[in-house]
Structure 1
Amino acid sequence: MVVVNHAKTIANFNRFPVQKLLQESHITHKQTIVDQLKKCSSLKQLESVYASMVKNNERQDCFLMNQFITACSTLGRLDYAILAFTQMTDPNVFVYNAMIRGFVHCCTPYQALEFYLQMLRAQVCPSSYTFSPLIKACTLVSALRFGEVVHGQIWKNGFEAHVFVQTALIDFYSNVGKIEARRVFDEMPERDVFAWTTMVSAHARAGDMILARRLFEEMPERNTATWNTMIDGYARLGNVESAELLFHRMPTRDIISWTTMINCYSQSKQFREALAVFNEMRTHAISPDEVTMASVISACAHLGALDIGKKIHLYVMKNGFDLDVYIGSALIDMYAKCGSLDRSLVVFFKLQEKNLFCWNSIIEGLAVHGYAKEALAMFGRMEREKIKPNGITFISILSACTHAGLVEEGRKRFLSMTRDFSLSPDVEHYGCMVDLLSKAGLLDEALELIRSMKIEPNSVIWGALLGGCKLHRNLEIAQVAVNKLMVLEPNNSGYYSLLINMYAEVNRWGEVAKVRATMKELRVEKTCPGSSWIEMERKIHQFAAADKTHPASSEIYLLLDELDVQLKLVGYVPELGFI
């Protein structure tokens, strides 16, 4: 019986081809390699898999090399991919595609373009999958001429009907500011939702929301990305109302939708509304990401909402967010602007990694709080850390000098911008210097600096000079500043009022009458008063001069009247020099 069974086994084995067994074994081995490559999360694992490939003489296997290159790009180690590629004698189009895709993924687009040329020189014919990452590389480096050549290659190889290739071309042309984007879109034989969305985004990016909206309404179907694109387009133009309407019409919202709306309100200085959207987002069980949290923290900074900011900081810590440079710089800025400089410094020194934004935030915080020497010391520390400053850094440094009246230090830093860091002063830097010199009473020097500017001085610069003139009672230069301001901002009543006050203080009532007559002739009306915020019990209260919209207005004015009475009882006499 045993012999019979053994004979049957041999017979069955002979009927099953050995070649097929070996082939299936080879396929299984290949799949194992592919699975291992997909699971690679470290360089050590990647090296181990590649060693196995070398041992089994699989370095020439194009399929496995395609997978290996993809794994290398995922880990950001294209140096290994390049080394492996150079060992191949006959890489096919899929291997070249993987290399081009990897270079784009790792933000080295020039090498992607070079590899495409190398591919053509090797007489390897591109596939449709070659062109999407290649066009993306052209977009990243704004290589218009190269992109146009690639467009010609697409036609030459017969891929003009491929939707994903044409969609990449639309994105490319819109990014380099060419109208060919719409021509490519109009010539597409078929369009999917991504092609429509890309074209809508192209119009929105160009600021043409009329065409973007027209396309949006024509779309046969829309996805969440399309709605987000439209909301972001309106936000960029400051059209909050249109962004709001679309946001509330959206059938579904993702994290990008909520964050875009928060940013829309923040960009329009509607910070309370930004916080309200964040709270609504949490009630919908949408988990914020790092970008959302940085935007919300920034809104708290502008409102001076320290208690809410602390609460959000706690939320960041409890929910496992990395204290990266984005959230870190936002927290530093928020605590500094809310008056808690100590907390700002604690966050700064706890950050393991600090970029320029973090340094700028802490330097500005120190400057605003009047710690000029500490701000300058922090700048010196930044230099020792080999962090190169930018224009914003010097605005904070010059502001620190202004607050502390450090004229010589300010002059030194202003010259250092160009001499030591090759940074050309912008209008903001000139504004800081004019403010510094004007407050120090060096009005002639300030006026000379304005006249020597290589860029046209704006109203802020002339306004700073006028403020210095008021402080030091220099009517001659004040008139020069006002004459300029009347051209730049003819309807701004503040400058006229300041000049009137200066003439009134020296009893030059004839000049007061002339300025008032000019205001009447030009129909200059008093501008709306500014407003301020205060946070109490995690609620933001907004106030403006002569405003009675606050629910507690009656009680507030009663208290002010009582304070006025008390001041008079102790001998306070109001200063009536200002009109």
Structure 2
Amino acid sequence: MPPSPPLSPVLHRLLSFLPRLASPRHLLQAHAFLLPRGGHRHPRLLSALLLASLRLVPHPQQTSDHAAALLRRVHPSVYLRAAARLPPHLLRRSLLGPQLHSLLLRTGHVASDAHVSASLVQLYCTCGHAADARSVFHEMAVRDVVAWNVMIAGYVKAGDLVHARELFDAMPERNVVSWTTVIGGYAQMRRPEEAVEVFRRMQVDGSEPDGVALLSVLVACGDLGAVDLGGWVHKFVVSRGLSQEIPLMNAIIDMYMKCGCIEKAVEVFEGMEEKSVVTWTTLIAGFALHGLGLQAVEMFRRMERENMAPNDVTFLAILSACSHVGLTDLGRWYFNIMASQYRIKPQVEHYGCMVDLLGRAGCLKEAQDLVKDMPLKANAAIWGALLAAARTHGDADLGEQALVHLIELEPNNSGNYILLSNIFAEQERWDDVSKLRKAMKERGLRNVPGASSIEVDGMVHEFTSRDGSHPFLHKICEVLCEINTNMKSVGFASVFPEVLHAIEEG
């Protein structure tokens, strides 16, 4: 691959000028200016010119014609490196991938240059053309581990984990990038079981995980409640001297919090010499997750005392904490100081937290007024919070109003119908319950049972509502009965009705 020539001062000025080009005529003038000065042989300048072409020339074929004129004057590897710098959304609407492929075939570079072929695979993947990328991949005479990784990463970005795993399992050899790509894909797609399974295979294979793999498997451990494996990763991080890597330590805190190991999470937090706003936010969100609102508030105040400015996610965490423990006035105060003190404009998620907070407190009119007056369009989370509040406080009219919006936003979410059905059932409005059941059947909706998981002795056990297949079900029920008896003996009274009104499958 030819090295990139240094940019002269005049080409540096052109590089800064290209984003300000206002017309296709100016684009052609800039193109003509850089050619005799060799600017087309530098990936950064070529990429800026291509970006200007995509921005100024609306027709994809005209853009591709201009790109082809550039390509004829440079080595394909330079062009590919330039194209790789372009924003994916612009690449997806252009014909650069097929145009470049056609020209490379004519010049014989696809057949003779493995690096060019791998780069073309990557370009097709970035354009969102996984099938074309796979065709180029199959036509490659020699596929090194880089080419395999590029194709697998393309499938992962497209969300096609089936084909990504198929290629991964077929690889003649793997490196740490191969393992990391698949583990990260499963973690991002919220398939933690597969992420953990591939990570364990990586351990057996003898490949040492890098920081990206460790971050991904920590996310999976948190989702699964796999604290034993998460603890192993924590020890591995410490043993490899990675304790100064703030993102890794943040992920460890998050994992411990999600697994219910609150003291361990706090211990890791206190042991960190340097903390980011994400570190503080992770701990505050963990306290909120477990209903420890007062601890979350104290941590937020400590954060302020140590001059660490909260961000928008921090406010989501503290508003959630206030909501879970009924700190309504404090929640209102935090919502107000977002803009007045920290100059953070509330987003729809912050309004959702406030609606949830007011709804839980029984301030239904205030919650409705907030939704009506908010400058943003209410999303499903906000209407869902209103529906949940209506369920808690038995307000059927509000529940029906919320469901109308939810049906429009989430037509296939059966849980919304069930919440309103429970309101009707508690008010003995059986005709309305029947109508909702009929509406669910007409839409083909079924009540999806909830599930939870826990790790015991290195094995993850999953429990699904109304599933009696677990081998230790009898013993589990005995323990639950014992817990229930002990709770009643200390005066605990359930706030839930004796009869469950949820619509069953059928």
The corresponding residue for 1:445 is: 366
Q: TM-score, normalised by structure 2?
A: 0.80
Q: Structure 1: how far apart are the matches of 2:338 and 2:95? A: 40
* Residue 424 of structure 1, CA deviation: 3.5
Alpha-carbon distance in 1 for matches of 2:220, 2:233: 11
Letter in 2 for 1:310: G
Q: Residues of 2 paired with 1:383 and 1:208: CA distance?
A: 48
Match of 2:81 in 1: 168
Cα offset, 1:220, TM superposition: 2.9
| Higher RCO (C-alpha 8 Å, min separation 6) | 2
Query: Is the partner of 2:273 in helix, strand or coil?
Result: coil
Is the alpha carbon distance of 1:430 and 1:510 closer, same or farther for their aligned partners in structure 2, counting shifts above 3 Å?
same
2:103 pairs with 160, 164, 187, which one? Answer: 187
Query: Is residue 545 of structure 1 aligned with residue 465 of structure 2?
Result: yes
Equivalent residue for 1:431?
352
> How far apart are 1:415 and its partner, in Å?
3.0
Equivalence for 2:22: none
Instruction: Decide whether the 8 Å contact of 2:80 with 2:123 is kept in 1.
Output: no
Question: What are the Cα deviations for residues 525-554 of structure 1, in whole angstroms up to 9, with x where unaligned?
Answer: 3x2212111111121111101224434446
Identity of aligned residues (%): 34
Shift of 1:422: 4.1
Check the 8 A contact 1:466/1:481 in 2, yes or no.
yes
Bigger mean CA offset, 426-435 vs 314-323:
314-323
Counterpart of 2:79, as a letter, is: Q
Distance 1:125 1:561 in 2: 79
2:411 is the alignment partner of 1:490:
yes
Superposed counterparts of 1:238-277, under 5 Å = 238-277=159-198
1:184-223 equivalence runs, <5 A: 184-188=100-104, 189=107, 190-191=109-110, 192-223=113-144
Aligned with 2:42: secondary structure? helix
CA 1:182–1:353 in structure 2 vs 1: closer, same or farther (change >3 Å)? farther
Task: Return closer, same or farther for 1:254/1:470 CA change in 2, 3 Å cut-off.
Answer: same
* Mapped partners of 1:355, 1:434: distance in 2: 29
Per-residue Cα deviation, 1:386-425 (whole angstroms, up to 9, x for no partner)? 5444332221121011112122222222233334444443
User: What is the aligned partner in structure 2 of residue 578 from structure 1?
Assistant: 500
Q: Distance in 2 between matches of 1:380 and 1:372?
A: 12
* Structure 2 residue matching 1:540: 3-state secondary structure: strand
Secondary structure of 1:339's counterpart equals coil
Larger Cα Rg: Structure 1 or Structure 2?
1
CA distance in 2, matches of 1:362, 1:144: 46
Quick check: 2:46–2:79 contact (8 Å CA) kept in 1? Answer: no
Contact persistence 1:171–1:181 (CA under 8 A): no
Unmatched tracts of structure 2, length 5 or more: 20-31, 58-62, 502-506
Q: 1:577 to 1:319 in 2, by over 3 A?
A: same
- Secondary structure class of the residue paired with 1:533: strand
The 8 Å contact of residues 170 and 182 in structure 1, kept in 2 or not, is answered as: no
**TM-score (structure 1 length as normaliser):** 0.70
> What is the alpha-carbon distance in structure 1 between the residues aligned to residue 17 and residue 250 of structure 2?
33
Q: Which moved more, 1:162-171 or 1:321-330?
A: 162-171
1:466–1:478 contact (8 Å) kept in structure 2:
yes
**1:318-367 Cα distance to aligned partner (Å, 9 max, x none):** 23334311111101111111112222122223223322322221221122
Q: Structure 2 CA distance, aligned partners of 1:304 and 1:289? A: 22
The residue that corresponds to 1:300 in the other structure is 221
**Structure 1 match to 2:278:** 357
The count of aligned residue pairs is: 468
Root-mean-square deviation (Å): 4.0
1:4 maps to none
- Tell me what 1:42 maps to: none
Distance in 2, matches of 1:566 and 1:379, equals 38
Distance 1:162 1:413, change over 3 A: same
CA 1:509–1:309: 2 relative to 1, 3 Å = same
Q: Structure 1 stretch 208-217 or stretch 274-283: which is displaced more? A: 208-217
Residue of 449, 452, 468 corresponding to 1:532: 452
Question: SS at 1:343's partner residue?
Answer: helix
Q: Shift in Å at residue 159 of structure 1?
A: 7.5
1:86 aligned partner: none
Contact 2:18 2:52 in 1 (8 A): no
What does the per-residue CA deviation read over 1:203-262, in whole Å, with 9 as the maximum and x for residues that have no partner? 222333222222222233322222222222222333221111011011211111101111
**d(CA) in 2 for partners of 1:154, 1:182:** 11
Alignment-derived partner of residue 43 in structure 2: 132
Return closer, same or farther for 1:254/1:99 CA change in 2, 3 Å cut-off: farther
Aligned AA (1:542): E
**Structure 2 counterpart SS, 1:243:** helix
